[in-house]
Amino acid sequence: MKNHVLCRLATASRKGWPKVTPVTYALDGERPVIATDYGTKKLKNIVENPKVALIIDEFRPNKGLMIQGKCEIFEKGKEYLRLLKILFDRFEYYRANTWKEGESPILRIIPVRVTSWSL
């Protein structure tokens, strides 16, 4: 599913209220990397509860991958810059609308469980 761009990220607040958001992603090895903005509900949820799920799928033919794991948040530093390069390398839009450390958090999901169908 490396050729896909869009997926859905599920987060939950500390109280367990779920939220599903479409996001674009790149891969850091087997770990999805996602840029987000400050002030989003998904970021607030991840700060409160780092457990997330990500679905990358197709309708026809019906196949997909679900990753459940813990989400790390990067805002500055060497690892942030490395992940930022991964995002810039993958997305033309990000290259055309660059940002710097501290301007936009980067999320990385550490898989705990991976489930697939028809792959």
Residue ranges per domain, the chain?
6-117
In terms of Cβ atoms closer than 10 Å to its own Cβ (0-12, 13-18, 19+), residue 18 is: exposed
Under a CB-based contact definition with an 8 Å cutoff, are residues 21 and 11 in contact? yes
DSSP 3-state of 61: coil
Q: Which helix (H) or strand (E) holds 7?
A: strand 6-12
* CATH class for the domain made up of 6-117: mainly beta
pLDDT of residue 4: 81
Q: What is the pTM of this model?
A: 0.92
pLDDT of residue 5: 87
Nearest to 102 by CA among 74, 83, 82: 74
pLDDT per residue of the chain (119 residues) written in tens, 0 to 9:
567 889 999 999 999 999 999 999 999 999 999 999 999 999 999 999 999 999 999 888 889 999 999 999 999 999 999 999 999 999 998 889 889 899 999 999 999 999 999 87
pLDDT of residue 1: 55
